[in-house]
């Protein structure tokens, strides 16, 4: 009798972020977040991460110049440039 061992495919959560404005300018507190999908491989550059969110329909193409990627050492967070409001994230600090 033989067993086939399937390789484990790591998946990273895609999060929708609900944040409240903090007391300081450009400060936000994550009030809640929800897993809205997964990704097996994280795009390699910040531009590629933004393009991923556009391609998957999480962001409009016009958002490309209005957002940036912030690495908080647990998530790659998509934030609005004008006020740092967090919108989406890829949680690389844990895997499914």
Tens digit of pLDDT for each residue in 28-78?
A: 999 999 999 999 999 999 999 999 999 999 999 999 999 999 999 999 999
Look at 19-28, 42-51, 84-93 and tell me which has the smallest mean pLDDT: 19-28
Domain ranges of the chain: 12-91
Report pLDDT for 70.
98
Nearest CA to 58 out of 83, 82, 31, 38 is that of: 38
Q: Whole-model pTM?
A: 0.87
Handedness of CA 62, 43, 47, 82 (dihedral sign): positive
Please indicate whether residue 37 or residue 5 has the higher confidence score (pLDDT).
37
């Amino acid at each position: 009798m033989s067993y086939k061992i399937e390789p484990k495919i790591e998946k990273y959560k895609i999060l929708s972020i609900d944040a409240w404005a903090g007391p300081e300018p450009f400060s936000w507190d994550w009030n809640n977040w929800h897993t809205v999908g997964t990704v097996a491989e994280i795009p390699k550059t910040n531009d590629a991460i933004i393009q991923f969110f556009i391609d998957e329909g999480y962001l409009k193409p016009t958002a490309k110049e209005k957002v940036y990627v912030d690495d908080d050492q647990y998530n790659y967070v998509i934030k609005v440039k004008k006020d740092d409001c967090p919108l989406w994230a890829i949680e690389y600090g844990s895997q499914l």
